[in-house]
Structure formats: C-alpha cells, structure tokens
Structure 1
Amino acid sequence: MSSAGCGVHSAFIVDRDGAVVSNADVLISVEWNRVLDDVSTAHVIINPDGDCCAQLGRVRTWRHKLVVARDGVVVWEGPIIQAEWSYGKVELWASDILVWLDRRVPHSNATFTGADLTDIGAWLIEDGFAPDDPGHTVEILGPANVEGGREYTVDDGQTGDHLRDLADTGLDYTAIGSTIVLMPETWSASVGLLTDVDLPEGLIVAEDGSQLATRFVVHGDQNSGVQGVSGGTDAYYGLLERSVDESSVKTDASARAAARSRRAANYPVPVFLASDEVTLSPEAAVDVAKLVPGWCVDVASQATCRPLTQRLKIAGVKVEEDGDGESVQVTLAPLSSELED
C-alpha cells in the first residue's frame, strides 16, 4: 500500500464489447473522483506515443469507456463523455456508470408501498438498464430501514433523478467501477484512522448549527395530503422546526420515515472538519483505493481548542497526479444518527 502522495497512475480505453482500444501512453496528468449520491468524473491528458495516436483517434464518446488504475489497481471507470484531439495531446473526460441513469427513463410502471428504499433503488437501477445494459452489478450493503411509498410511470422522469430523490430521504449510493453500491445513510463501517499527522496545517474543526432541526416535517404528494413528522421540543436545544416538500413520497408511513431520516442527518449539531476538501499529507498511510464514499474514517485531532475524536463519513474523494506528484483530497461529513420519532 503506497501512501497518499506516492501513487502512480495508468489508464486505458475499453470498447463496449470489452476489447482494449488503446493504452494511454504517455499519461501527462490524471484526475478522478468519487462522490456520494451522484455521478463522479475523471479527466486525463495524454501525449500520444507512436501507434497510440492512431488508436486514440478511434475513441468515440459513449461507445468507449475510460479505465484508471493506481499502482496497478483499477480505481475508476466509466463512459467517455467528451474527447478533444490537438497537436501532441488528447484530452478525455468521462463519467461513472451512474451517468447512464441520467439518460434513462422508467420502462415499466411500478408502485411501492412499505418497501425499503434499498429495494426501490435496486429496482430503479435494474429497470433503467434493462433495455440496454453497459455491464453493471448492484450490491446492497444493508437495508435503509426507511419505508418508501413511491410510484413510477413509464417514460416519466429520468431514472437518475428518481434515484437522487431516494437519497434525500434515507438512502446512500455510490459507484465503484461497474458496481453500484446501495447502503443506509447510517452505514458506519470504517476504512482507517486519520490523525493530526495525516491532516494539513491550518485544520479547522467546526460546529454548524444552521441546519439543526429538533422537529422535521415532510409533506409528500400534495393531492393526497401525505405528511410525516419526526421529533419535537428538545430538552437541550429547545424547538427548531423545518418543513420540506417531497412530492415523490406517496404514503404517510414513508413521509414519517423521510422526516426521521432528515432529522437524523441534522441532529445533534454536526461537528466536522471545516473544509470541502481535506488534503491528506503525502505520507498519510491510507489505502486510497478503499476511500469510498459512504464508508467512514475515524478522525482524531488535538490541534485546536475543540478536540475532535469522531467517525466521519466519506462524502467525496479527488485524486490528481501530474508532473508535480500526487494529491489526495477527501470530503468528510457528519454521520447520520439513528433516531426514533
């Protein structure tokens, strides 16, 4: 396992039928990321070497996918969305497998009453890929324990947007290569420990009370008057209320579950590292391949007046390598609590 600043990348382009179209020789720079509940991207700049130029000239968007490896381990892959050829340089931009769902719509009608959000998410993915599968698998790490009442109609809305709606009410998902992983928002498996030695100078520990809610109200489908409530007056914080509309929620039970999930994400007041992207020390002994959104890292910091010893969720990862070396940035977010109404 190399440290966070010593990885060496390679890349290659693969056809829909699985054949390798070209290696990325010579790779000038590479950037790839992983994100929670959305589509991740990658970007490479290649200096074509010999026969590689003619091979790269055959690259076509959506037909071919970019595969990125770090120290020989594949860490990212997805269809090429944009390509540019210039003198002595080829640039490729790609998105992960989830981008296909932004170009798919429901292919059958479905009504869910009392189903777990992970089961609904799995149905959306399978239905989205049913007519034309670029090659995918779905892995469910555990039930969301959030009841979902949802209805989907043929050709109505993009499948990717329907999946994001589920993520607003208790489901997390991410892409690892061609696998789409579904998990509860409360998933708390840790992949490592970060201490002050691994974190940058100028680290800021922050408490953000702007989203705190002790009582959450979710209004579902307006035509049916669906509503769900979670929480009330808190003995410590008092009463702080929020109300949101979730038109995709069709039953009172699923509205209550959505309200509980929303409150769990913002109660108690989250304490976190105040940086959208925490750059790890180049010597940080972490397995970059295992930094997957939805999993957690344990953080132990004594560098400020507010010591922090907490398990934080990985919300995003961005890795860059160019002539100046490698940089690994991690976005960390508070872990949702498990709350009762």
Structure 2
Amino acid sequence: MTELGCAQEYKAIIHWLGGARPFTAPGAIALTSVTWNRTVNDTAEATIVINKGVAGESCCADLGRIEPWVHELSIYRNGELVWQGLIIRVTENATRFLVEAWDVTAWLAHCVNTTLLRYLSTNPADPRHVGPVQEIAETIIRANLEGGLYAPSPDWPRMLPYIVRDDDTTVTRFEKDGSDNNSVWQVPILTIMNDELVPRGLEYATVGRALLLGRAQTTSDKAKARLNLDSFAGDVEIVRDGTVGTTLVWVTNQNDQEISGAQFGVSGVVSGVYGRLDLLVRSTAEGLSAYDLWQIARASYNGRNPMPTSLKIPDGAGLSSRAPVTIHQLVPGVRIDVAADGMCMGLTQPYRLSDLDVEWRDSAEKVGVSLVPIGDPYTGAPPA
C-alpha cells in the first residue's frame, strides 16, 4: 500500500534563477530545520536553517553571496523535489544562517500588468476571446512575461513552460478596461488573479516549480486518496456546520448611499430540505455587469449546500506516517475522501486539500493538512 512514510532525509540546494543550475548546497548535517508549505490562492513559503559551525567556511562564504530574486531554494524529501521558489530574505547571526523563500507566484505579485484586459470576443482566433477563467489567467500571464518593452528577456522568471491548467466548463467573459474600453489596468498580475479571476472560479497553487491554474473540485471528480480517522495523528472532530450553509447566494454592487441603478447576480435554488437560506455578498468593484456578479455568486455557492461537514484536526496534529497517500498526491485543490467509520456521523465525505504544512526538525517530520468540504456549484443558466 502507498503510504506517506517518514522523511529519512531532507536536502536543500540553492540554485540560480530558473531552478536548474546549482549555486551551493549546505551539507545534510548542517541543515537543522526545514519548513515548507503548499496552499490554494496564496503564495507558498519555505525556510531552512543552517548551522554555520557545521557548514564550514567554504559553504559559509557561498551563503554570504546569496542574492534575493537571483537565487532560488529547492527542497528535497528523501531525494525527491517537493518545493522550489525564489529566495526573498537571508538572515545571519553568530551561529545560524536562515534562508526564506516564496514560490513562483511571487513574480506575479511583482509584475505590473501592461496588457489590455478585454476578454469579450467569441472568435477563437482572437487571443482575448471568451473562455474558461483558467485560460484567461494563463493568457494574461503569458502576455506579460513573454516579452515587450518592460521585459528584460522573454520569460525571465522561467515559469511559462511549467503552467498546468485544469479548465472549468463554464465560459467566462472578463473586462477591466475603463469607460473608453482601451485602458490598461496597472496592478500586479497576482492582484488581477486574486481580485477578479479567483471570484470567478479560478484556483491556483504551486507544486515544485509548476504553477497550477485549476478549478474547485466537485463530487464528479475522482478522489486522489481515501483516508480514515486512523490516518490522522490526533483526535479528529467531525463538525456539521449550519452557520456557513446557504441555498441562495446573492452578489450585488448596490451600496448604502445609492441603491438605484445597481445590479445583482444570484446562484442556487430554494431547497425543499433547508428552505431559503440567503447569503448576501456586496462587491465594491466598479464596472461589474450582471454576468460578472452571477459568476461571483456561482463560485461562492460551492460547498454550502448541503450543510458542510468538516474535519477539525487538533493543533499540532497532522497525518500519520501510515496514511495511505504520498507527498506528491498532497496537491492543493485535489479531492481527498475521508471515511469516518465508527462515529455517530459515520460517513465518507469528499474534501479538497486547501493547505499542506510540513516541518522537519531534529530528524522528525510533521505533515499537517487542512481539508474543506466539497460541494457542487449551482449550474443554472447565467443572465441573458
């Protein structure tokens, strides 16, 4: 049976930008601690701590030449790459050297958009045609990184070959171009993704160097692993929480000062079981159409009906080394089923992995996960 297992060894290599050409590597015995994570819709982080006295003078001299945004950190678990990203900060004291890194989405947070955001064409030959929100996200990233006036070289972060998409079936129309339909929205690319595309159903994460542009999993997606309560190190609680349950999601751009001329989008259905349970979301973004608001409502509905049943994993606990899942299957956003046998609320519940947090210290590893319930999006027709 495939199991998570125990980490016998962690290694760290400092690479030049691009993650292919090594710069230096502290010896395994000099590496005193390693932490790294994977997460949905956020920038993942990693740190390593090096014992200077054990590392030696030559390694120390190399560490002293590390340059943020020029060098990258790669972390290997039992010889396999599990994390890679940009070194963003180094800190040294008398006994230790600390290296902190962010994943490749850090480049998108520090690259201001220079392209027109007007994805309305129905012509497939038009690079700005309507399509899945994941395709629009990749198009925006490529348009900004492939070259142009403000690019030092094509794809200078070395990330375009590592984009992986899992497209939604829903077509997205998206524009952010001002009243003249010809203005460039000058914000970081990651701001566009977080503020405009994530509310429309985009989910992004990184695994190693790969940038995953995906969608929220549904009950029709195949589970990557099946766990039971024995897979967790600690007393797991099951919570069926009605405080977040909803049957109708309303999204409006109406404000308290001026209620006329506003539009709204609604997703869901009045339930024969729960009746009408409304969630109202107010959007302060300007220029949103009824279709935009419906897209936001549709994405917000996921996981709210039926009432979500979630696992509460105690602080400091995590996965057991006998858990039937590998570290490579623990990808943010994937479906993982959990069977709660022997409990009053005994059931097999589909979840998606939202966060993976790993710490290795004193030759012992702790693997923590955060799981959130999976629900199916409402698939009613958009407004005309």
Please give the TM-score of this superposition, normalised by the length of structure 1: 0.91
Which letter does structure 2 place at the counterpart of 1:158?
P
Query: Secondary structure of 2:270's match?
Result: coil
In structure 1, C-alpha distance between the alignment counterparts of 2:363 and 2:237, rounded to whole Å: 26
Give the whole-Å Cα distance in 1 for the aligned partners of 2:223 and 2:249.
29
Q: Counterparts in 2 of 1:103-114, with a 5 A limit?
A: 103-113=110-120, 114=130
Match of 2:127 in 1: none
1:1-341 matches, cutoff 5 A? 3-16=4-17, 18-25=20-27, 26-48=30-52, 49-50=55-56, 51-113=58-120, 114-130=130-146, 131=151, 133-136=156-159, 137-143=162-168, 145=170, 147-151=172-176, 153-154=183-184, 156-165=186-195, 166-186=197-217, 188-219=221-252, 225-246=262-283, 247=285, 250-275=288-313, 279-341=318-380
CA distance, structure 2, for counterparts of residue 61 and residue 149 of structure 1? 35
- State the alpha-carbon separation in 2 of the partners of residues 220 and 119 from structure 1: 26
CA shift digits 1:65-107 (9 cap, x unpaired): 1111111111111111110122231101111000111112211
1:13 and 1:21 in contact (8 A); partners too: yes
1:13, distance to aligned residue in structure 2 (A): 0.6
Question: Aligned partners of 1:45 and 1:159: how far apart in 2?
Answer: 31
* Structure 2: runs of 5+ lacking an equivalent: 121-129, 178-182
Distance (whole Å) between structure 1 residues aligned to residue 357 and residue 171 of structure 2: 30
Bigger strand share: 1
Q: Is the 8 A contact 2:113 2:185 kept in 1?
A: yes
The CA distance in 2 between the partners of 1:262 and 1:256, in whole Å, is 10
- Give the superposition deviation at 1:156: 2.2
- Secondary structure of 2:167's counterpart equals coil
How far apart, CA to CA, are the structure 1 residues paired with 2:326 and 2:313? Answer: 21
Equivalent AA in structure 2 for residue 139 of structure 1: V
Query: How far is the alpha carbon of 1:319 from its aligned partner?
Result: 0.9
Residue 182 of structure 1 aligns to a residue whose secondary structure is strand
Q: What is the rounded CA distance, in whole Å, between the counterparts of 1:299 and 1:127 in structure 2?
A: 41
| Counterpart-to-counterpart distance in 2, 1:276 and 1:79 | 32
8 Å CA contact retained: 1:10, 1:69 = yes
Whether the 8 Å CA contact 1:4–1:327 is kept in 2: the answer is no
* Cα distance per residue 1:32-62 (max 9 Å; x no partner): 0000111100010012422211111111111
RMSD of equivalent CA atoms: 2.4
TM-score normalised to the size of structure 2? 0.82
Question: Displacement, 1:171?
Answer: 1.5
Conserved 8 A contact 1:4-1:328: no
- SS of equivalent residue, structure 1 residue 289: coil
C-alpha contact (below 8 Å) 1:107/1:155 kept by paired residues: yes
Q: Which of these two proteins has the greater Rg computed from alpha carbons?
A: 2
Q: Which amino acid aligns with 2:199?
A: D
Q: Residues 255-292 of structure 1, C-alpha deviation per residue, up to 9 Å, x if partnerless?
A: 22321221123222111102387601133242112201
Percent identical across equivalent pairs? Answer: 25
User: Is 2:7–2:78's contact at 8 Å kept on the other side of the alignment?
Assistant: no
Q: Deviations over 1:209-241 (max 9, x none)?
A: 222221111225989744211124221111111
Contact 1:146–1:257 at 8 Å: present in 2 too? no
Change (3 A) 1:22 1:100: same
Secondary structure of the corresponding residue to residue 190 of structure 1: coil
